[in-house]
Structure 1
Amino acid sequence: MKNFDVIIIGGSYAGLSASMALGRSLRNVLIIDSGKPCNRQTPYSHNFITHDGSTPKEISDLAKEQVLKYETVQFHEGEVVKMIKNATEYTVTTANSEEFYAKKLIIAAGIKDVMPDIPGFSECWGISILHCPYCHGYEVRNKKTGILSNGDIAFDFSKLVFNLTKDLTLFTNGKSGFILDQTDQLERNKIEITEDNIAEVQHENGQIQKIVFENSREVSLEALYAKIPFKQNINTEDLALELTEQGFIKVDAMHKTNIPGVFACGDNVTMMRSVANAVAQGNFTGAVVNRELAEEEF
């Protein structure tokens, strides 16, 4: 079968959740997934009730097993390389030149983190170099912690992390971008600002040990939060999808993009990156897409 009611690009939490809502509504659905979730290196997932402490793979494997029990839902392993809008449908092409067709698209392909050119950083990402205090902060509470960021983002982020540990250092990896009032508040809370350029992150099997600077100075750490750039996993230019200033796919309250019939949910639309949020967004988007199909068919 090549023709579907809905093609979901991305088969992780948001995509699987959307497919369950659609499968239970008897919609013919194809999930296309490349098998490269952004949290594949993360050992444990937290802050998702009923699954707190499970591995990301355990959650997604169970979700996939449950979703595929619905006979109208299919799963295809592949990488989407092209999306085309036709008169009445969409054509989706994979890297193996396979073509599939659908009335509606849900983009739930997530994002790809762009690692800084710092030896040891990528090996620790998701393990002891963290993106989210809600997902991992409890596990490193009261430990010697750092934040790798600068300017307003770093200042605001430090407020969240300071609630979890008072042994906190800000690494700006170059000249500080804080205004005087921000610097005064950080100093008042005894948060050190280090402007030295980072040369290396030393670790053991992804567990950070210390940061080594270009001037050979070293700082021991047990955890490091980092705000790093990202890019979309799919080529948004194919359909001329509008992006936000931060680089997320722009959607309205119904998770509709600027292109009729194309929806998006999960990490590619929001900075709130968590399993729980992705599942909630996927469930909602699946219901919205089913409602739109029902309106058109009635």
Structure 2
Amino acid sequence: MSCDFSLGEIAAFLDVEVRGDADRRITGLSTLQNSEEGHLTFLSNPKYLKFLSSCNASAVLLSSKNASNYDGTCLITDDPYLAYARISEWFDVAPFKQPDIHSSAIIDPTASLAAEIYIGPNVVVDENVKLDPGCHIEANCFIGARSSIGKNGYLAPNVCIYHDVKIGHSARIHSGAVIGADGFGIAPKADKSWQKIHQIGGVTIGDNVEVGACSTIDRGAIENTELGDGVKLDNHVQIAHNACVGDNTVMAAYSGLAGSAKVGKNCILAGDVCIVGHVDVCDDVQLTARTLVTKSITESGSYSSGSTPLMTTVEWRKNSVRIGQLDKLARQIKKSLD
């Protein structure tokens, strides 16, 4: 599949200013340092400014500040990175099949399938499943009893949706994801063995949610595990039973929520962040990489812990410097005492 658009068409879609030839053809996207004729690129991180003067792209998405120092053709926007993100869909050549139900798919007769959907080879759709228009279910997926997927939902190959999972519209769920498996519920017995707690809740996922490859969202023990609208999960993210994730919160790879943890809206969890069970995190919180949250956070802001107790990121940076000074301070104290 080839892509070929005029710069004017792109500018009109993005509602940005063109400086240069609006009829110039754009056939692909690239980074500044690897750009070629016909490519559109962008500059958002100042670390890459050094590549601007030597880039070979046909056009560059630039802020007005950077455009003032660039003589080539460009599109001028307040947010070059967001503009790049929006136009990237035009250049996505991933295959997307026409509506069809493959002959090898197994569809329970009680399932409700809307028109204009695609169901690939070896897909299993269980009893009373509901798939809305535009759903695209790739090969080897399983959708359990009474689960539903809203309009334009996309399941990549080998996704497993257990029973009683409700997914809103425009979801995108990547290969290897498992939604609705049992949460880690066990009770100790007198003989030191363990009694399984059957997980009888479900999972509720909002609209415009993306779940990365090999991520897991466990079903609730009694009530549902919940993800709000616009949540984005990277690969290898764990959401335990009865956890709740607020609207537009994003979680990077290897981050996880223990049982009944609650994260508010518009939060950012960097890689390998862990939040222990029954802890609440308020809206608009940023957690830096490998932070361990062991207590509730009630004020928005950036927090870090690493190998230290949880504190604000400003405090953590100061204390990290102090840790490097401890040996010198200890020697000075020892010398003063001798």
Q: Which has the larger radius of gyration?
A: 2
TM range (shorter): under 0.3
- Higher share of residues assigned helix: 1
- TM-score with structure 2 setting the length: 0.16
TM (norm. structure 1) is 0.18
